[in-house]
Amino acid sequence: MKKTYLAVLLAVWALLSAPVAGWAHPPSELAIVYERDGGVLTVTASHRVGDGKTHYIKEFVLFIDGKKVESVTPSEQKDTAEAVATFKAGDLAKGTVVEAEAVCNKFGKIKEKIVIE
């Protein structure tokens, strides 16, 4: 009986003392869309949150052909399902590799890439 009680007590203690990051999560998907007309790149991170003021995408980073060219640092996430950033990339040549990264303010990040066609 004492062993069972101790095991339950330890399990509850472990759950309650787990770091906040254990309840946070990285973005689940990242979509990059390039609109040739206007040269705009739109990056959408799927990231469900309960409160976009305390749990949000804190940074979007844009890389073109492996070089970091720009970053956006939101201070909150207005939509509870996703976060969006836009970049003026200009006229990108066919074959250009575009990578984007989205970083959660609590835990984790995701990176995706596309090749311009």
Range of the domain at 92: 24-115
Q: What's the pLDDT band for 89 if we cut at 50, 70, 90?
A: very high
Q: Tell me the pLDDT tens digit for each residue of 28-43.
A: 999 999 999 999 999 9
Confirm whether 52 is domain-assigned: yes
User: Is the separation of the CB atoms in 104 and 97 below 8 Å?
Assistant: no
Domain count, the chain: 1
Residue 16, in any domain of the structure:
no
Token pair 């990285």 in the structure block, residue: 26
pLDDT digit string, tens, across residues 1-25: 666 655 555 555 555 444 444 456 7
In-domain check, residue 63? yes
- CA 79, distance to chain mean position in Å, is 13
Q: Do the domain assignments include residue 42?
A: yes
Given this model, what pLDDT does residue 26 score? 84
In CATH, what number is assigned to the domain containing residue 102? Answer: 2.60.40.730
* pLDDT score, position 23: 56
Task: Report yes or no on 34 lying in a domain.
Answer: yes
Asked if residue 27 has pLDDT above 50, the reply is: yes
Please report whether residue 85 resides in a domain.
yes
pLDDT at residue 19 in the model: 46
Query: CA dihedral in degrees (87, 91, 97, 102; nearest 10)?
Result: 0
Interval 51-79: pLDDT, tens? 999 999 999 999 999 999 999 999 999 99
Please check whether residue 45 lies inside any domain of the structure.
Answer: yes
